[in-house]
Chain A
Amino acid sequence: MLSLVPAIAVRDVRFAYGERVALNGLTFAVYEGEIFGLLGPNGGGKSTLFRILSTLLPLQQGTAQVGGFDLTTQQAAVRQILGVTFQSPSLDRKLTVQENLKHQGHLYGLRGADLQSRIEQGLERLGVADRRRELVSKLSGGLQRRVEIAKSLLHRPQLLLLDEPSTGLDPGARIELWKYLRELRQGMSLTIVVTTHLLDEAEDCDRLGILHEGQMVALDTPDALRSSVGGDCLTIRSRDPERLASDITGQFRVTVQRVGDQLRIEREQGHDLLREVVAQFGTSITSVTLGKPTLEDVFVQRTGRQFW
């Protein structure tokens, strides 16, 4: 269950690098216990927002609270409850896995047996316990990322910020990572904020904010965002798409969009239409799929731009 306590509250935040405006009046909240995604193409403002929330960049305008602490005046408290997994590793490659985590623990005031048991637990959970004595430089990119995540969770943060967590992970490792993130959210009642430019990664979030040119152009659950586009999406392949298109338009009075040899129809209650179309024109149809609109459709609809 999601609670309604904001883990992050951002109001009217603006940020510019000199002349270039990166964030242009952002207001949103992330609630405790949710996995919140920040989706957008590169250059949309995700990284800037990530850096502000992780206290690396100052707030130029607007206000932001993290875990109830003010991001400008209570930085030390914010840093204490925050775990940050950077896109580029923050591990010291010349040290072993164990040494990296030990130093990390010390930076958060952990020590002794408590620290050691946390290190062992963390490495165990991420499946890298047997590599603990190896130099980080000897590990593959995927394993380094796991150690990176273990590092950011060592002090049991209330809020975990992950910047493009799937970078450098193969599909199997990515599925594992998301499984683990969901477990964490349950087990540690952790709030997770993920930035991503991958549409299918965004699907895994509880709620999603879409950033474009420094503004939040959409914010809702992935399902709600998709259904805001227009019900279901019917995709039909045919040997003679031209003729089929005019037949369907004549018969059912719907808008048919032709993309290559495919016909796309957006419509509420798409399954009813599907049944009727197949009954009427079954012989001239090679294949047909019924699905929800994708997040890419949402982005295109809200911004009038291609996502890629």
Chain B
Amino acid sequence: MNQPAENRQSARPGLWLPVWTLAERELIRFLRQRTRVIGALGQPLLFWILFGAGLRNSFQAPAWSKVLGRELTYQEYFFPGVAVLIVLFTAIFSTISIIEDRKEGFLQGVLVSPISRLALVLGKLTGGMLLSLIQAGIFLALAPLMGISFGTVQFVLIVGFLALLAFALTALGFVMAWPLDSTQGYHALMSMLLMPMWLLSGAFFPGGESGWLSWVMRLNPLTYGIAALRRLLYWDHTLPSSIGLPSLATSILVTVLFAVVCIGLSVVLASRQSSRNAR
């Protein structure tokens, strides 16, 4: 069998050029759809303001808040939960586009290109992660209003952790979106799986220390995401550990594992050749 002429070969794409180009595409598409910007940032912000005001009087601050030496309002308690909700919504919006990419035909062009399937997955995740960081960053700028202040190191740690969490949640969205053919199916999974996962992570209310709810929280990977963010926000205080608030090391470790598992699954799914990929 004849080998193809060497001079016809163009450069191999490598890993980072395709990852960056796919991520850049996500950013451009996002910014061209204003409704998405409003949806991913506006809705959590609205939740924060409305629930913060509505639940102010019925909120019972968790035991660990005594360490702060001041009263923990519901709005302040809810603050990291809203930041994570912004990340979650952005992850959902950027992975629901996989279904659109498949329908509109863009995906088939990427699949026949010589990039590795890892690059395909990381491109999508990096796009989602950057969008999350931009939006969560805007929200975090509101922290001083809550009386939460942070230094540069703390800010870098928070952003770094949010990037990790965004990777994990976008990868989870990828695993859910890849096998689906309709956005309706995704909406069903979103309300049955993603929203309960967020509600039962300590984001919305402190969980009990016993009973079935405590087990759900213990098994919910997002509990660890919320806990790590909360601990980073109160960097100067040593908050006692509990089921709803595991230690920082445990929280980061679980979040890393969660991200690795979801990314691995994404790559496995994307590597399968299937008639669904052709239109």
Contact = CB atoms under 8 A, between A and B. Distances in A.
A208 to B, nearest CB: 23
A80 B1 contact: no
B115 A107 contact: yes
Interface residues of B, number: 42
A17 B275 contact: yes
Nearest to B19: A106
Contact of B13 (A51, A81, A89, A106): A106
Interface in B1-58: 1-5, 8-14, 17-18, 20-22, 24-25, 28-29, 32-33
A17 B112 CA distance: 21
Nearest to B110: A107
Interface string B80-91: 000000000000
A107 B108 contact: no
Contacts of B106: 90-92
A5 B2 contact: yes
Interface of A: 5-6, 9, 17, 47, 51, 54-58, 65, 67-69, 76-77, 79-82, 84, 86-95, 99, 102-104, 106-111, 151, 155-156, 158
B275 A51 contact: yes
Nearest to A87: B279
Contact of B111 (A56, A94, A103): A56
Interface string B242-279: 00000000000000000000000000000001110111
A57 B276 CA distance: 9
B105 A88 contact: yes
Nearest to A52: B273
A56 B105 contact: no
B119 to A, nearest CB: 9
B12 A80 contact: yes
Contacts of A95: 25, 28-29
A82 B112 CA distance: 8
Contact of B273 (A55, A155, A158): A55
A109 B13 contact: yes
B240 interface: no
B113 A79 contact: yes
13 contacts: A6-B2, A51-B278, A54-B112, A56-B112, A58-B273, A76-B114, A90-B107, A94-B32, A95-B29, A99-B28, A108-B11, A108-B113, A158-B4
B185 interface: no
Closest 6 CB pairs of A and B: A90-B109, A106-B21, A109-B11, A109-B13, A79-B114, A107-B113
B112 A55 contact: yes
B71 interface: no
B236 interface: no
Contacts of A57: 273-275, 278
